[in-house]
Amino acid sequence: MSSSYKGADLVAIRDFSRDQIEHIMDLAEKMVPIALGQERSDLLAGYVQSSLFFEPSTRTRLSFASAMARLGGATLGFDQPGGSSVQKGETLADTIKMVDSYSDVIVLRHHSEGSARLAAYFAEKPVINAGDGAGQHPTQTILDLFTIRKAKGKIDGVNVALVGDLKYGRTAHSLAEALALFGAELMFVAPANLQMPKETIRAVDKLGGKPKTMTSIEQAVPEADVLYITRIQKERFPDLAEYQKVAGSYKINNALLKDAKTELSIMHPLPRVDEIHPDVDLSPHALYFQQAFNGVPVRMAILALLLGVIE
């Protein structure tokens, strides 16, 4: 199995098979005590990760850094391209060629869709897509699947409503494909002009997913086992007036949840703006902070596999 991960890039969720994703989740499970700081590890001692963030990030960047540090490795990079030579006009290709020689793995977040694929072309070392514009966010997807599997004991047959900005939300794109691959039932809940892009719909169809699409969150709540709500991606709207029309479309509060299943889990890749009322944080439905923690063990597993130190 090792040869199929070692040196591989993770640009889109479809780069890995269902078996490979399951193996990552199994390994992530074993990493939890290290992620919690209960056990020490030097599995990645001497390894260096480049962390290139051209767009804002809290969870993704810090959980990659935490994963690397907890396994004894080091991280270099930037979270503000303004402090790098990009400011002087350096191309992404040149930046990538440079850091390729400084490190063993490259984690890239960039505002252009396709940037991670481009980076993978120029880099010898594995490239991990930490979000490419409105494209994909495959490591978030694996931690989302891990979170669902832990909470529900399975993914097959679990009814997941993806809610919010399905057009520009990269987490929703890669997660929809992955959920179809794992046989989950899907509901796509979005304002009509923010529904899932055709490309994602086609990929989901090909995998046998038969999503129900709707605009009303009230309709989705009673059926859902998981409500996965996302932020309206303000920064991706070409016209602010268009954003203002849909801002605040969906808000989860305790009143909305009165018809929910007892076992309903609420997930959010975070950051939230106003999609989830803070009162919901105390309810047994809230899974989003646990979900955010799960980024650490999942990214540990991904780093260890791509670096080939584990099979």
| Contact criterion met (CB below 8 Å) for 92 and 118 | yes
Closest CA to 28 of 307, 293, 285, 287: 293
Q: Which of 67, 224, 270, 300 binds ligand NCD (CB under 6 A)?
A: 270
CB-CB contact of 225 with 263 (8 Å): yes
Of residues 125, 173, 231, 299, which one binds ligand NCD by CB under 6 A?
231
Annotated catalytic residue 137: yes
Can 299 be counted among the known catalytic residues? no
Q: Residues touching ligand NCD: how many (CB under 6 A)?
A: 11
Which amino acid is located at 100 in the chain? Answer: D
DSSP label at 196?
P
Smaller CB distance to ligand NCD: residue 211 or 269? 269
Q: What is the DSSP string of 81-148?
A: GGGSGGGGT--HHHHHHHHHTT-SEEEEEESSTTHHHHHHHH-SS-EEEEEETTS--HHHHHHHHHHH
Query: DSSP state, 16?
Result: S
Residue 272 among the catalytic residues: no
Q: Alpha-carbon torsion 140, 141, 146, 151, what sign? A: positive
- Cβ proximity to ligand NCD: between 60 and 95 the closer is 60
236 counts as catalytic? no
Q: How far is the CB of 60 from ligand NCD (least distance, A)?
A: 4
- Indicate the residue among 66 and 100 with the shorter CB distance to ligand NCD: 66
Least Å distance, CB 49 to ligand NCD, is 17
Q: Does 61 bind ligand NCD (CB under 6 A)?
A: no
**Contact between 131 and ligand NCD per CB under 6 A:** yes
Complex with ligand NCD: residue 167 or 231, whichever CB lies closer: 231
Which residues inside 132-161 make contact with ligand NCD, applying CB under 6 A? 137, 140
Least separation in angstroms between CB 275 and ligand NCD: 10
Segment 18 to 57, residues that bind ligand NCD, using CB under 6 A: none
Sign, CA torsion 71/9/50/267: negative
CA atoms of 240 and 232, how far apart (whole Å): 12
Any catalytic annotation for residue 75? no
Q: Which of 110, 137, 170, 173 is catalytic?
A: 137
The catalytic residue positions are 59-60, 88, 109, 137
Residues forming contacts to ligand NCD in the complex (CB under 6 A) are 59-60, 131, 137, 140, 170-171, 230-231, 269-270
